[in-house]
Amino acid sequence: VTKNVPFFNYKVFSEQHGPEINKIMQRTLNSGAFIMQNDLAEFEQKIAKFIGVKHALGVANATDGLMLALRAVGVNPGDEVIFPSHTFVATAGAAYFVGATPIPVECREDHTIDPNDIERAITSKTKAIMPVQLNGRMSDMDAIQAIADKHGLVIVEDAAQALGSKYKGQGAGTCGAAAAFSFYPAKVLGCLGDGGLVTTNDDRIADKLFMLRDHGRNCEGEMVGWGLNSRLDNMQAAILNYLLDFYPEAIARRRKIAAHYQSRLSGVTALQLPPAPDAEGDYFDVYQNYEIEANDRDALQSFLKEKGVGTLKQWNGEAVHQIQSLGIDASLPNTDKMTSRYLMLPMNMSVNDEEIDYVCDQIDAFYQSHANTSEKQARENDKVSL
């Protein structure tokens, strides 16, 4: 029998949280508290504590947050900013819109930025490194920090996918000079529209971020410079305040799902799985996504679709340097190879264990029937990497 296992199921979210969210919205409406009000201040305090960071400020979305963070740490027009090409275009866009030049580099096997490729890309114009804490996993922050220290560079984390992730006990959003998170609906902590957060442990950067997001006003309402309008709505903050209480449960469930995939798929030689959830090691991953690499990726995706299983190529299958219209000229062969093989399997709060088994059964069935072709491709892949 064919099951329907969608990639994401918004209906389940609305069934679970709809009644409470309706009450919150009605309460906010009745109180008339929409912009820079108590729910926002409460949420900022609560999430700062959760992240383990001194300052957390709500902003309109993570793209704005990254742009404000780059400005606040002193990235200026003409500077170069290094980022991993396997990311959402927003990472590079944020650098572009402060007038800097985004410089893409390679990813490593776990799909986060490859520290070895960062040094190659450093020039006299390089000002910042933007590691992307991808798929709910942190980058190798020790290696990146060492490079930043050696060359006098500043680190701004794109933590849009990494709320609650840790590296050597340190939370995403606490490692660089500043960081940005996203509450876009498809993120693990999503609101009912656009929303984001900037974080920093530095009081002066926090003051700058505060005024940049609110027309140049400081917390006393005095004008202290130029600013933009990029605030998180009080209504969204009130909803996020409620949803944040469920977040630890969500992380635990996602790590369970990842362990389930790992136990069922680790023997499939045609696949490369993301790192397994590891309680003891350097990394604590929250599995925003479960991104595998697969031989015969497109055929596998079509097969799974026929069997009712929803999968997704992140960012439409393109790394940033591959987007023709942006005119970025870079040769990143590892990333090119990875984007021809990557695929995300269902990883969400509605998929149950039976459905995960069904997804894995279908993957097994695909590679059994395609054994010959996939072995051939594996040999070809080996040739490419030699």
Ligand X SMILES: *Cc1c(COP(=O)(O)O)cnc(C)c1O
Binding site for ligand X (CB under 6 A): 61-63, 87-88, 90-91, 132, 158, 160-161, 182, 184, 194, 196
Q: Which is nearer to ligand X, 79 or 194 (CB)?
A: 194
- Closest separation between CB of residue 318 and ligand X, Å? 14
Closest CA to 178 of 90, 41, 42, 57: 57
CA gap 208, 218 in Å, rounded: 8
Strands (E), 274-383: 283-284, 290-294, 342-345
Point out which residues pair with 82 in neighbouring strands.
103, 129
Q: Which is nearer to ligand X, 174 or 362 (CB)?
A: 174
Cβ pair 276, 258 in contact under 8 A: yes
Q: Which is nearer to ligand X, 182 or 348 (CB)?
A: 182
- Closest separation between CB of residue 346 and ligand X, Å? 18
- Closest separation between CB of residue 161 and ligand X, Å? 5
Q: Which is nearer to ligand X, 87 or 236 (CB)?
A: 87
Strands 166-167 and 170-171: antiparallel
Q: Which is nearer to ligand X, 106 or 296 (CB)?
A: 106
Q: Which of the 8 DSSP states describes residue 214?
A: B
CA gap 359, 35 in Å, rounded: 44
- Closest separation between CB of residue 15 and ligand X, Å? 25
- Closest separation between CB of residue 160 and ligand X, Å? 3
- Closest separation between CB of residue 320 and ligand X, Å? 11
CA gap 75, 95 in Å, rounded: 8
- Closest separation between CB of residue 338 and ligand X, Å? 15
Q: Which is nearer to ligand X, 90 or 356 (CB)?
A: 90
Cβ pair 70, 100 in contact under 8 A: yes
Sheet of strand 101-105, all strands in order from the earlier edge strand to the far edge:
55-59, 196-200, 178-182, 154-158, 126-129, 80-84, 101-105
Q: Which is nearer to ligand X, 84 or 268 (CB)?
A: 84
Show the tokens assigned to 63.
Answer: 């793209």
